[in-house]
């Protein structure tokens, strides 16, 4: 039986823009990730101007979901990955991903840019998430990750119609 995790704690500074929130879960199967990401990115692009940063969001999202499925839940299809995406009308995006794993210590991960880590087959996902998103934080012993991409809608930027 899958346990339910609360993803209500989405970190954010004061934000006065209205938002739309999507909550969804899916079984821990690698083959589900691409279709899920494609759907979520279509949702995000209703609120965010396409300026190239959507590739950063998509890549960080794929890495976070792969970590949740593979490392968090051990690809156990009986365990779920929980996703909450909050899109503000000014283009800011907050994504929270939770898994049912045991967690990890994010501060104990080796730096993938060091000489001894460069040839490793693992260890770049969190590095990429941090490099591509404006904010990344972990909670619940690493079973929940929060990612934020700041608004890209300025006064002179046309926002895509929802």
Place of tokens 């968090």: 72
99 near 51, Cβ under 8 Å?
A: no
Residue 112 binned pLDDT confidence (cut-offs 50, 70, 90):
confident
Q: Would you say residue 157 has pLDDT above 50? A: no
| Span 140-156, pLDDT tens digits | 999 999 999 999 876 54
Beta-strand ranges (E) seen in 34-143 are 80-88, 93-98, 135-139
User: What pLDDT, on the 0 to 100 scale, is given for residue 107?
Assistant: 82
User: What pLDDT, on the 0 to 100 scale, is given for residue 159?
Assistant: 42
How wide is the angle at C-alpha 41 spanned by C-alphas 49 and 78, nearest 5°? 160
Tell me the average pLDDT of the chain.
86
Beta-strand ranges (E) seen in the chain are 19-27, 80-88, 93-98, 135-139, 144-149
User: What average pLDDT score do residues 15-33 get?
Assistant: 92
Q: How far apart (Å, rounded) are the C-alpha atoms in residues 134 and 101? A: 25
| Span 34-71, pLDDT tens digits | 999 999 999 999 999 889 999 999 999 999 999 999 99
Q: How far apart (Å, rounded) are the C-alpha atoms in residues 159 and 162? A: 9
User: What pLDDT, on the 0 to 100 scale, is given for residue 74?
Assistant: 97
Element (H, E) at 54: helix 53-66
Q: How far apart (Å, rounded) are the C-alpha atoms in residues 162 and 150? A: 19
* Overall residue count recorded for the chain in this entry: 162
User: What pLDDT, on the 0 to 100 scale, is given for residue 155?
Assistant: 54
Edge-to-edge order in the sheet of strand 135-139: 19-27, 80-88, 93-98, 144-149, 135-139
Q: Would you say residue 158 has pLDDT above 50? A: no
Q: How far apart (Å, rounded) are the C-alpha atoms in residues 84 and 104? A: 21
Domain ranges of the chain: 19-149
The CATH number of the structural domain formed by 19-149 is: 3.30.565.10
């Amino acid at each position: 039986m899958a346990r339910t995790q609360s993803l209500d704690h989405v970190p954010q500074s004061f934000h006065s823009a209205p938002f739309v929130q999507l909550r969804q879960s899916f079984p821990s199967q690698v083959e589900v990730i691409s279709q899920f990401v494609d759907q979520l990115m279509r949702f995000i692009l209703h609120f965010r101007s396409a300026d190239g940063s959507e590739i950063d969001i998509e890549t960080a999202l794929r890495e976070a979901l792969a970590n949740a499925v593979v490392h968090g839940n051990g690809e156990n299809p009986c365990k779920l990955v929980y996703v909450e995406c909050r899109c503000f009308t000014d283009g800011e995006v907050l994504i929270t991903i939770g898994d049912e794993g045991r967690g990890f210590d994010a501060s104990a991960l080796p730096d993938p840019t060091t000489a001894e880590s460069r040839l490793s087959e693992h260890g770049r996902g969190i590095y990429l998430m941090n490099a591509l998103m404006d904010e990344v934080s972990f909670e619940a012993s690493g079973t929940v990750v929060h990612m934020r991409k700041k608004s890209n809608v300025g006064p002179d930027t046309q926002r895509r119609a929802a």
